[in-house]
Structure 1
Amino acid sequence: MRMGQEKGNQQSNANFAFRLYQRLVSKTPSQNIFFSPVSVSASLAMLSLGARSATKTQILQSMGFNFTHTPEPAIQQGFQHLVHSLNVPSKDLDLRMGSVLFIKKELQLQTHFLDNVKRLYESEVFSTDFSNTSSARERINSYVEKETKGKIVDLIQDLEPQTAMVLVNYIFFKAKWEKPFNPRYTSKRYPFLVGKTTVKVPMMHQVEQFAFAVDPELNCSVLQMDYSGDTAALFVLPGQGKMRQLEQALSSRTLRKWSHSLQKRWLEVFLPKFSTSTSYALETILPKMGIRDAFDRKADFSGITKTDFLQVSKAAHKAVLDISEDGTTAAAATATKLTIRSKDSPSPAICFNRSFLLLIINKATETILFLGKVEDPTKF
């Protein structure tokens, strides 16, 4: 695949990520948000393989693809490359991402579609008996639980007996910081501003060299902390009362601007320790982004089955993340560094003690694995 096309895919994926984020924010403006744009994009691209006519066009155009610039085979090739590179096992990083389709068992599926889904997306398609909704739900949930080593449970809460197709995508991520925090410096009850009040959170603390940037235009600070295994977290702290302005300006261009202006410097960092697990019923959100036909009577999935009418009745997404000190083996070395540095010369401090954005990026593919907003770390 040409370099230019790969760049185009990354930009489309990033812009789709931010548009989906803005939709989720408008639904619940003052709540935590956390999802995996790459997992959602990959499952939609996979679904588009079996879509035809307007159903296909709506899916790919809503994802930000322009057919004159990027023909469909190049889009699919881009996702194949992405899914494959993200699922390569690594000793430093536990990342599991997958999409899977559960389709009503009476349907005659097209072998061409089944082959493509396996070849391009390393995905499974299961024929499922939806007439018994509780055993169908149990089957879907236990499949996802097994694939994510028990991290993602109860993905599907309810199913209709007339369900024809369920699209599931899941992602699980666990990595160690390249520069871990020492748990001894985590203050148990640190005030974190939520609206007009404060909640108490465990706040991690270290002095270290990190890549950092200030964006005067958007009035925010950007801190990059690397994980081992070619992955980095970006924490973006807007000035007081500037979150809305920041959210509206999110785009692949903004992200590029930040990554170009990051510079290594000594910093004193305060970061909340928290875990999150969020689920979204995307069948209520994607139609508002232009993917309408796939979810209603106009759906054309004749690439999946020729004989019957098929529409997506559910698109479930669940993402899990854990932000902690991780890497206690380096604790002793970290301890001396913190005390010496503090006496030495005061480093500027950045304290994530009010709402901030969080992006986790795979550096090799420049892909946003996760995107979220922490409004209240005690509420995940």
Structure 2
Amino acid sequence: MKRSVSDVLCSKMASSLYGVLFAVGLCAPVYCVAPANAPSEYTHPSFTKSTPTSQAYSLNTDFAFHLYRRLVLETPSQNVFFSPMSVSTSLAMLSLGAHSFTKTQILQGLGFNLTHTPESAIHRGFQRLVHSLTVPSKNLILQMGSALFVKKELQLQANFLRNVQRLYEAEVFSTDFSNPSIAQEKINSHVEKKTQGKVVDIIQGLDLLTAMVLVNHIFFKAKWEKPFYPEYTRKSFPFLVGNQATVHVPMMHQKEQFAFGVDAELNCFVLQMDYRGDAVAFFVLPGKGKMRQLEQTLSARTLRKWSHSLQKRWIEVFIPKFSISASYNLETILPKMGIQNAFDENADFSGITKRDSLQVSKATHKAVLDVSEEGTEAAAATATKFIVRSKDGPSYFTVSFNRTFLMMITNKAVDSIFFLGKVENPTKP
């Protein structure tokens, strides 16, 4: 909730009430290759399934589906795309400076039961995740980072500043918010650079009450382990939008062995396509009229079931070539998920600064996704891996993603969802 200047001056005579804005900028262009000079090793810290830290990842997956269902309600019949990992990391980092009910609501809103999972374990889990994403790979780029843009006059608590830098590897920038347009340009330029130009103008309408902007960005570039051959992409293929409308999209096509399964309980097809490296994409196609049933039952257990039950078989697959983006004002959505105090006059962020009263005035999330055959740099080198099999070849199952489907990008090593979305209309950017 954002209040007027007069309201602030009347209700807070001894201290000022400033807005804390956190923004999430991310990009997942699923088609490019890593630079040729990237280091050859990509290692993850080991994750033991029984530790509180690893349990945090399962809860984070449930948060992903909880937020997804809320976004579907807020934007019916539209594409949905976001990074649950980026949102949850921003909230967890914000909780470092929260006290009392503000802290409890944030962590419980993320799905954590503080009697079973100590707060220290939650932050250790995010610390290990953030660290794992800073290790380069020759096969993919998956980078997540955070930045705090702090009003010059705002004196941060030493403990908060130390923890956001130590646990979340956040960058901290002193910022002059007395000129909102210049501050806005500085923040937007930082996010645009970190997402290689994909996420632009994430911050809009800064005002004089802004005291701090927290930004989390995640950038993903990868190439398919079994890429599509561009010459086999059909330039115009019908895609059903809703119950009757049809649009035409470029449709990628290949016959190959993929992990695939039919979930009879949820009435859907599940296709797993691996990227080079540890990243995995799940494409989920529900039966006609069954999307809502599928959405209501998605959980960490569902994803684990798919991961363990899919079997490799010959598949003829049709997947649209598309680019979509989405923006969300989370300050109107998160309170409906139990995270309320952070956005109103009851906010307690005294762990950030004691001199001034802070509340979150705006929480912006913007996501961009590109799905294509592969990076142009690799097209010639990998085209020979595509083989068109004759009618006498092995039998195969045909699955065509020619109507609304779900897409998830996960990581084998940390068992968490980086990106989650629903493609309702692939022609809408």
TM range (shorter): over 0.9
Structure 1 gaps, min length 5: none
Higher relative contact order at CA 8 Å, sep ≥6: structure 1 or structure 2? Answer: 2
Whole-angstrom distance in 2 between the partners of 1:97 and 1:178: 22
- Write out per-residue CA displacement over residues 168-199 of structure 1, whole angstroms, 9 at most, x where no aligned residue: 22222110000000001000000000021110
**SS at 1:191 equivalent:** strand
> 1:315–1:100: structure 2 CA closer, same or farther, 3 Å change rule?
farther
Range that drifts further, 102-111 or 42-51: 102-111
Q: Which residue does the alignment assign to 2:384?
A: 333
Q: Which among 231, 256, 266 is matched to residue 279 of structure 2? A: 231
After TM superposition, which residue ranges in structure 1, 4 or more long, deviate above 3 angstroms?
Answer: 329-332
Q: Which residue does the alignment assign to 1:203?
A: 251
Whole-angstrom distance in 1 between the partners of 2:320 and 2:166: 41
- Write out per-residue CA displacement over residues 65-102 of structure 1, whole angstroms, 9 at most, x where no aligned residue: 11111101110000000111122111111222222222
Q: Which residue does the alignment assign to 2:182?
A: 135
Q: Does 1:363 align with 2:412?
A: yes
Output the amino acid matched with 1:226: D
Sequence identity, in percent? 69
Q: Which among 288, 296, 315 is matched to residue 240 of structure 1? A: 288
Q: How far off is 1:105 after superposition?
A: 2.5
Q: Which residue does the alignment assign to 1:183?
A: 230
> 1:349–1:46: structure 2 CA closer, same or farther, 3 Å change rule?
same
Whole-angstrom distance in 2 between the partners of 1:339 and 1:378: 30
Report if the CA contact (8 A) 2:150-2:213 is conserved. Answer: yes
1:70-149 pair list within 5 angstroms: 70-149=117-196
Output the amino acid matched with 1:329: A
Q: Which residue does the alignment assign to 1:7?
A: 54
Higher helix content, 1 or 2: 1
Report if the CA contact (8 A) 2:154-2:211 is conserved. Answer: no
Whole-angstrom distance in 2 between the partners of 1:167 and 1:117: 11
Q: Which residue does the alignment assign to 2:305?
A: 257
Q: Which residue does the alignment assign to 1:300?
A: 348
Whole-angstrom distance in 1 between the partners of 2:137 and 2:365: 24
Q: Which among 326, 329, 353 is matched to residue 402 of structure 2? A: 353
Q: Normalization by structure 2: what TM-score?
A: 0.85
**SS at 1:349 equivalent:** strand
Q: How far off is 1:2 after superposition?
A: 6.1
Range that drifts further, 147-156 or 25-34: 147-156
Whole-angstrom distance in 2 between the partners of 1:147 and 1:187: 34
Report if the CA contact (8 A) 1:171-1:319 is conserved. Answer: no
Range that drifts further, 89-98 or 45-54: 89-98
Report if the CA contact (8 A) 1:118-1:124 is conserved. Answer: yes
Q: Which residue does the alignment assign to 1:154?
A: 201
Report if the CA contact (8 A) 1:205-1:269 is conserved. Answer: yes
Whole-angstrom distance in 2 between the partners of 1:244 and 1:166: 36
Whole-angstrom distance in 2 between the partners of 1:312 and 1:102: 14
Q: Which residue does the alignment assign to 2:40?
A: none
Range that drifts further, 370-379 or 88-97: 88-97
Range that drifts further, 308-317 or 370-379: 308-317
Range that drifts further, 260-269 or 166-175: 166-175
Whole-angstrom distance in 2 between the partners of 1:99 and 1:310: 19
Q: Which among 58, 66, 74 is matched to residue 19 of structure 1? A: 66
Whole-angstrom distance in 2 between the partners of 1:288 and 1:136: 30
Report if the CA contact (8 A) 1:141-1:153 is conserved. Answer: yes
Range that drifts further, 127-136 or 23-32: 127-136
Q: Which among 84, 99, 118 is matched to residue 37 of structure 1? A: 84
Q: Which residue does the alignment assign to 2:116?
A: 69
Q: How far off is 1:330 after superposition?
A: 4.8
- Write out per-residue CA displacement over residues 306-361 of structure 1, whole angstroms, 9 at most, x where no aligned residue: 111011122222222221100423554244x2233x44244110100000000000
Report if the CA contact (8 A) 1:192-1:198 is conserved. Answer: yes
Structure 2 gaps, min length 5: 1-46
**SS at 1:51 equivalent:** coil
Q: How far off is 1:297 after superposition?
A: 1.0
Report if the CA contact (8 A) 2:79-2:324 is conserved. Answer: no
**SS at 2:331 equivalent:** helix
- Write out per-residue CA displacement over residues 285-307 of structure 1, whole angstroms, 9 at most, x where no aligned residue: 11111111111111111111011
Report if the CA contact (8 A) 2:69-2:295 is conserved. Answer: yes
